[in-house]
């Protein structure tokens, strides 16, 4: 039995789906507008006295953080109560790994967002917090260390009485943890989250942080199983479907090839969830050829609940032999109208603004130069939880404010800058308005990728022969 508190009417699942108030599933948490916070009551069993109590649920969004489900249980019979917060956000397409070099006391103040599934390690002292052993938390580097120290000290009096040797070893380790807070020697903190929902602050944003390394990776099958994204037998079914029972790849038939060509001409629609409010919606996908370049896959999503729209571009041709660096020196307001394809592997720079958008920051975009600059401005406002809102310090606000002013001048055509697209996969593109003649304002350089770039693209780990066998 579910009751909507605000409307004081009983709702069945069907009635809830038929509502047409066009409100997002997860709404912003706002103390000035609590009437807009919709809550549900569910009759549930009390674990203390086994009588029926009431659970209240509120789906909300904490500004500049994430979607959460706030749950509160109370029992009128034994007066037992319990409160809990569960993450309600989506699991990202890729996992993330942050590695921060802690060199000064100031680095201890870096803000950290750690999800339930994230692991934290400090190789310097052979220390690790495994995933699913702590609740998600928003803290600092020093706060992570303090939390561990508090947990270890909690049962020390009992250990000293029961097992003095073990207690002495733990005391020794606690001393090592406390010594880290003095930063007498440099140490590294590694935050690894297969859900992609954890974060370590870049205090230099939007500039590149020399002490912070951020990488995204494709989850393993075991990680997908742990997150509940796939069933245990999905891999075997997928291999049989693609290769046959004997594990040998089958050549595609003429009919299958014709189906592939027909698929390129149609717009495919598949169900998904809105990245802003998590409500169900549809994503449209289409294969589009770009003149003088290659085919790309464009995906667009529009949410009917909150009105949020997103678009993303994926390369349809794989990774090129060499990386590509495109440099455009803007000389006229018409340069803002140039078509631009920024792949998800591309790093975007504006040296005059000391602005660097690293690989994977914006995802894939097919738009104009003006549209990309607007996307960057929106990304800086909303994606970094520590550049805006109450958690931002005055210095960060002033710094990002100056960058916004300069970006507005570029977008309005009052300031001409240099745009650099550095794509190790070679899948980015900037329109040559003089084509087929060379563009005097644009240079294109091809280069051989470094081992580090090959590693980031996953090329070093690719197995192109006998790939049905285990490595």
Asked if the model's pLDDT at residue 188 lies above 90, the reply is: yes
- The bridge status of strand 67-74 relative to strand 52-61 is antiparallel
pLDDT of residue 2: 39
State the Cα–Cα distance between residues 283 and 271, nearest whole angstrom.
6
Buried b (16+ CB within 10 A) or exposed e, 96-125: bbbbbebeeeebbebbbbbbbbbbbbbeee
pLDDT of residue 22: 62
- Lowest mean pLDDT, pick from 10-24, 225-239, 255-269: 10-24
For the residues 348-360, what does the mean pLDDT come to? 87
Asked if the model's pLDDT at residue 248 lies above 50, the reply is: no
**Torsion angle in degrees (nearest 10) through CA of 169, 173, 179, 181:** -150
pLDDT of residue 458: 77
Asked if the model's pLDDT at residue 146 lies above 90, the reply is: yes
- Tell me the pLDDT band of 16, cut-offs 50, 70 and 90: very low
pLDDT of residue 244: 46
Angle between the N-to-C axes of helices 369-382 and 394-411, in degrees from 0 to 180, rounded to the nearest 10 = 170
Which percentage of the chain shows pLDDT scores above 70?
Answer: 79
State the Cα–Cα distance between residues 441 and 420, nearest whole angstrom.
12
pLDDT of residue 370: 94
**CA dist 226 to 117, 231, 232, 259, 299, Å?**
9, 10, 10, 35, 28
- Encoding tokens for residue 71? 């749950």
Mean pLDDT of the chain, nearest integer: 80
Of the candidates 355, 394, 391, the residue with the CA atom closest to the CA atom of residue 375:
355
Asked if the model's pLDDT at residue 471 lies above 90, the reply is: no
Asked if the model's pLDDT at residue 319 lies above 90, the reply is: no
Which percentage of the chain shows pLDDT scores above 90?
Answer: 33
- Lowest mean pLDDT, pick from 67-76, 166-175, 193-202, 381-390: 381-390
Q: Which residue has the higher pLDDT, 308 or 330?
A: 330
State the Cα–Cα distance between residues 246 and 227, nearest whole angstrom.
30
pLDDT of residue 413: 92
Cα 345–348–349 angle (5° rounding)? 150
Place of tokens 């699942």: 13
- Lowest mean pLDDT, pick from 49-63, 233-247, 389-403: 233-247
pLDDT of residue 4: 36
For the residues 218-242, what does the mean pLDDT come to? 68
State the Cα–Cα distance between residues 277 and 61, nearest whole angstrom.
8
Of the candidates 290, 233, 310, 266, the residue with the CA atom closest to the CA atom of residue 427:
290
**pTM of structure:** 0.63
Coil, helix or strand for 88?
coil
> Environment class of residue 165 by beta-carbon count within 10 Å: exposed (0-12), middle (13-18) or buried (19+)?
exposed
For the residues 397-417, what does the mean pLDDT come to? 89
- The bridge status of strand 111-114 relative to strand 119-122 is unpaired
pLDDT of residue 394: 74
State the Cα–Cα distance between residues 451 and 81, nearest whole angstrom.
56
pLDDT of residue 344: 85
- Encoding tokens for residue 406? 């300069």
Asked if the model's pLDDT at residue 40 lies above 80, the reply is: yes
pLDDT of residue 8: 31
**Torsion angle in degrees (nearest 10) through CA of 156, 159, 164, 170:** -50
Contact in structure between 57 and 68 (CB atoms under 8 Å)? no
- Lowest mean pLDDT, pick from 5-14, 181-190, 206-215: 5-14
Asked if the model's pLDDT at residue 173 lies above 80, the reply is: yes
> Which runs of consecutive H residues, i.e. helices, occur in 120-208?
141-153, 156-162, 164-180
pLDDT of residue 115: 84
Which of 48-62, 411-425, 442-456 is most confident? 411-425
Coil, helix or strand for 18?
helix
pLDDT of residue 135: 76
- Lowest mean pLDDT, pick from 74-78, 281-285, 306-310, 404-408: 306-310
**CA dist 385 to 205, 388, 390, Å?**
11, 7, 10
């Amino acid at each position: 039995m579910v009751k909507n508190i605000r409307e004081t009417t009983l709702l069945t699942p069907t009635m809830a789906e038929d509502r047409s108030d066009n409100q997002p599933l997860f709404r912003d948490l706002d103390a000035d507008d609590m009437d807009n916070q919709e809550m549900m009551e569910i009759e549930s069993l009390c674990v203390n006295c086994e009588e029926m109590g009431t659970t209240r649920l509120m789906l909300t969004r904490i500004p500049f953080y994430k979607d959460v489900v706030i749950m509160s249980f109370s029992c009128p019979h034994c007066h037992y109560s319990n409160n809990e917060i569960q993450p309600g956000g989506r699991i990202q397409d890729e996992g993330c790994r942050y590695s921060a070099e802690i060199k000064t006391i100031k680095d201890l103040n870096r803000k950290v967002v750690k999800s339930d599934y994230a692991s934290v390690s400090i190789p310097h002292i052979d220390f690790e917090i495994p995933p699913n052993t702590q609740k998600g938390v928003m803290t600092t580097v020093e706060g992570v260390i303090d939390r561990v120290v508090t947990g270890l000290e909690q049962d020390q009096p009992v250990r000293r009485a029961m097992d003095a040797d073990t207690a002495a070893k733990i005391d020794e380790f606690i001393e090592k943890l406390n010594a880290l807070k003095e930063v007498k020697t440099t140490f590294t903190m590694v935050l690894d989250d297969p859900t992609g929902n954890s974060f370590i602050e870049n205090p230099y944003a939007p500039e590149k942080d020399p002490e912070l390394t951020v990488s995204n990776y494709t989850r393993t099958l075991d990680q997908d199983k742990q997150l509940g994204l796939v069933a245990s037998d999905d891999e075997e079914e997928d291999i049989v479907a693609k290769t046959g029972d004997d594990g040998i790849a089958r050549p595609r038939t003429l009919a299958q090839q014709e189906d592939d060509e027909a698929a390129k001409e149609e717009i495919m629609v598949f169900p998904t969830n809105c990245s802003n409010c998590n409500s169900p919606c549809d994503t449209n996908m289409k294969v589009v050829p770009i003149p003088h370049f290659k085919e790309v896959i464009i995906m667009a999503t529009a949410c009917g609940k909150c009105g949020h729209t997103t678009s993303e571009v994926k390369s349809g041709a794989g990774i090129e032999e060499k990386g590509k660096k495109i440099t455009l020196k803007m000389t006229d307001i018409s340069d803002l109208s140039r078509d631009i394809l920024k792949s998800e592997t591309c790093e975007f720079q504006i040296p005059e603004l000391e602005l660097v958008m690293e690989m994977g920051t914006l995802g894939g975009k097919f738009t104009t130069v003006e549209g990309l600059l607007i996307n960057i401005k929106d990304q800086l406002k909303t994606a970094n939880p520590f550049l805006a809102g109450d958690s931002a310090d005055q210095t960060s606000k002033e710094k990002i404010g100056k960058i916004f002013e300069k970006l507005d001048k570029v977008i309005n055509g009052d300031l001409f800058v240099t745009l650099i697209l550095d794509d190790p996969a070679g899948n980015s593109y900037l329109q040559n308005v003089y084509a087929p003649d060379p563009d005097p304002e644009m240079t294109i350089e091809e280069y051989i990728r470094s081992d580090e770039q090959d590693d980031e693209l996953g090329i070093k780990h690719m197995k192109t022969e006998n790939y049905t066998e285990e490595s």
